[in-house]
């Protein structure tokens, strides 16, 4: 059976999924797995398409120090335990820079180009690229497709893409890229299926997971995002600050004597819901907590979402629909209700019963702005792109011979 492997490699985990290629019937998820605890307590887990546990292995603490080793261990398990023929690998790559506005078949030259964006995403890009490089060395004929978190936003207008700094920085890549693009692209596609009448209209999508951002879409295209040069900007997140006055960074450097590295660590890992509450980065724990910091952090999160809803509505000249997605957006009726209360001025009226029951459309019939819950699926988006790219290059060309 022909299959596509999807890889999402981060600093402490490698997530992977396998999709069977079923011709006209599309893609069918066979395996969903993760090797986490890289560099600390590695653990490999995987489930099949029916959520049945296939493997749960812990590895000695020092035995998997990096992403490449993690890929090797996960790859060996896949090879030994499954019976499919890999026709391509799709990778989530955080940064496609100014250049890449769509997925691309990777060769050595393109890998070298993508390495140029490491300074733009130093925490993520090297981990995303490491498995591509290893596979390129070991299986040079195996097609690999890079799918970018930035690509969906590359059509932004110049005014949305710029910061108010001298143009030379824009030219060297200091731009408002926006991220979570694979999620937004998937939602744009799903909207065409579940709500075709609004898919062509003005929509705000709120991707609320441990990373969080919002996107303004017009006719299924991104026109504005709450994230900017890095995935630090915009909404507060589990452990990331979101937008803060840049003067705070100067204060941390000059008055507190923090090193640039320490500031980076602080903004990415010690702020957001976790840092603000002093309780947890997990919204479930914050909702259950009686600590005042937990309530403040949740209020701040909801407040900032409402402020950005206003900003994005301005970018679209009004809105017709608002979509909730990702962990918090998909699974927390309480948070959706709190956010919806702040959207009343935009013309949104939530149907409380539909919201509590987890329906797909959660606004009343009279609501001017329709409210929706649409589960995202970035991995399926990557697999779909990977198949599309491979098929568009399809010819009796040697690079599409099967992996050994
Ligand atoms: P990631 O960005 O890591 O892919 P997810 O989209 O899975 O994350 O979202 C993870 C977050 O979703 C968790 O940190 C948690 O705060 C939140 N979450 C998950 N389930 C619920 C729930 N039932 N209620 C509230 N929040 C939830």
Q: How far apart are CA 137 and CA 223, in angstroms?
A: 38
Query: Closest ligand 1 atom to the C-alpha of 283?
Result: 16
Q: Is the pLDDT of residue 352 over 80?
A: yes
Q: Ligand 1 center to residue 90 CA distance, Å?
A: 24
pLDDT at position 82 is 82
Residue range 70-74: mean pLDDT, rounded: 92
Does ligand 1 come within 6 angstroms of the Cβ of 291?
Answer: no
What integer best gives the mean pLDDT of the chain?
Answer: 94
pLDDT at position 180 is 96
pLDDT at position 81 is 86
Both structure tokens of 62: 């020092």
Q: How far apart are CA 161 and CA 224, in angstroms?
A: 9
pLDDT at position 1 is 86
pLDDT at position 395 is 57
Which residue's alpha carbon is at the smallest distance from atom 7 of ligand 1?
A: 327
Does ligand 1 come within 6 angstroms of the Cβ of 334?
Answer: no
Whether the CB-CB separation of 327 and 349 falls below 8 Å is answered with no
* Residue 296 burial (CB count, 10 A): 14
Residue to mutate (ligand 1; options 8, 34, 210, 334; most atoms within 8 A of CB) = 210
Residue range 380-395: mean pLDDT, rounded: 91
Does ligand 1 come within 6 angstroms of the Cβ of 282?
Answer: yes
Q: Is the pLDDT of residue 26 over 70?
A: yes
Q: Is the pLDDT of residue 98 over 50?
A: yes
Helix (H) or strand (E) holding 192: helix 181-194
Higher pLDDT: 186 or 13? It is 186
Q: pLDDT tens across 145-168, in order?
A: 999 999 999 999 999 999 999 999
pLDDT at position 172 is 92
Whether the CB-CB separation of 71 and 7 falls below 8 Å is answered with yes
pLDDT at position 394 is 77
Residues marked as catalytic:
149
pTM of the model: 0.94
Q: Is the pLDDT of residue 317 over 80?
A: yes
Q: Is the pLDDT of residue 179 over 90?
A: yes
Residue range 250-261: mean pLDDT, rounded: 97
The span from the first CA to the last CA of the chain, in angstroms, equals: 15
Residue range 290-304: mean pLDDT, rounded: 98
Does ligand 1 come within 6 angstroms of the Cβ of 209?
Answer: yes
**Residue 111: C-alpha distances to residues 132, 146, 338 (Å):** 8, 9, 44
Q: Is the pLDDT of residue 250 over 60?
A: yes
pLDDT at position 133 is 96
Does ligand 1 come within 6 angstroms of the Cβ of 337?
Answer: no
Q: Is the pLDDT of residue 398 over 70?
A: no
Q: Ligand 1 center to residue 56 CA distance, Å?
A: 22
Q: pLDDT tens across 215-233, in order?
A: 999 999 999 999 999 999 9
pLDDT at position 399 is 44
HEC readout, 73-134: HHHHHHHHHCCCEEEEEEEEECCCCCCCCCCEECCHHHHHHHHCCHHHCCCCHHHHHHHHHH
Q: Ligand 1 center to residue 377 CA distance, Å?
A: 14
pLDDT at position 11 is 78
Q: Ligand 1 center to residue 282 CA distance, Å?
A: 7
Q: How far apart are CA 368 and CA 349, in angstroms?
A: 8
Does ligand 1 come within 6 angstroms of the Cβ of 284?
Answer: yes
Q: Tell me what percent of the chain is helix, strand and coil, each rounded to the nearest 5.
A: 40, 20, 35
Q: Is the pLDDT of residue 174 over 50?
A: yes
* Residue 196 burial (CB count, 10 A): 9
Lowest mean pLDDT among 13-17, 118-122, 190-194, 381-385: 118-122
Whether the CB-CB separation of 342 and 306 falls below 8 Å is answered with yes
Could you tell me which residues are beta bridge partners of residue 104? 146
What percent of the chain is modeled with pLDDT above 90?
A: 89
**Residue 346: C-alpha distances to residues 215, 343, 373 (Å):** 16, 5, 18
Within 122-180, residue ranges assigned H as helices are: 125-138, 158-161, 167-171
């Amino acid at each position: 059976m022909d299959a596509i492997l999807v890889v999402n490699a981060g600093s402490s985990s490698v997530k992977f999924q396998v999709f069977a290629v079923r011709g006209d019937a599309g893609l069918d998820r066979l395996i969903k797995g993760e090797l986490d605890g890289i560099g600390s307590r590695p653990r490999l887990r995987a489930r099949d398409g029916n959520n049945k546990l296939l493997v749960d292995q812990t590895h000695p603490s020092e035995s998997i120090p990096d992403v490449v080793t993690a890929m090797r261990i996960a790859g060996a398990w896949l090879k030994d335990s499954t019976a499919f023929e890999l026709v391509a690998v799709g990778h989530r790559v955080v940064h496609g820079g100014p250049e890449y506005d769509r997925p691309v078949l990777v060769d050595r030259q393109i890998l070298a180009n993508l390495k140029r964006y490491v300074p733009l995403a130093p925490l993520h890009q090297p981990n995303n690229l490491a498995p591509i490089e290893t596979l390129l060395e070991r299986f040079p004929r195996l097609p690999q497709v890079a799918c970018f978190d930035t690509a969906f936003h590359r059509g932004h207008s110049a005014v949305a893409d710029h910061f108010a700094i001298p143009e030379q920085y824009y030219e060297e890549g200091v731009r408002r890229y926006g991220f979570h693009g694979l999620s937004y692209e998937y939602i744009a596609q799903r909207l065409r299926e579940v709500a075709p009448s609004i898919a062509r209209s003005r929509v705000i999508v709120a991707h609320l997971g441990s990373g969080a951002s919002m996107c303004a879409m017009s006719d299924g295209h991104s026109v504005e995002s709450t994230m900017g040069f890095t995935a630090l900007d915009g909404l507060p997140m589990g452990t990331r600050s979101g937008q803060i006055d840049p003067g705070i960074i100067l204060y941390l450097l000059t008055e507190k004597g923090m090193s640039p590295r320490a500031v980076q660590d602080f903004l990415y890992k010690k702020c957001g819901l976790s840092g603000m509450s002093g309780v947890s980065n997990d919204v479930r724990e914050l909702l259950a907590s009686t600590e005042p910091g937990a309530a403040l952090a949740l209020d701040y999160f909801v407040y900032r979402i409402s402020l950005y809803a206003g900003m994005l509505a301005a970018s679209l000249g009004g809105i017709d629909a608002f979509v909730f997605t990702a962990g918090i957006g998909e699974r927390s009726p309480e948070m959706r209700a709190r956010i919806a209360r702040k959207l009343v001025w935009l013309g949104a009226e939530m149907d409380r019963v539909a919201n509590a029951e987890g329906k797909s459309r959660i606004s009343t019939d009279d609501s001017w702005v329709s409210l929706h819950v649409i589960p995202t699926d970035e991995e399926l988006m990557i697999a779909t792109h990977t198949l599309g790219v491979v098929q568009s290059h399809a010819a009796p060309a040697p690079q599409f011979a099967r992996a050994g």
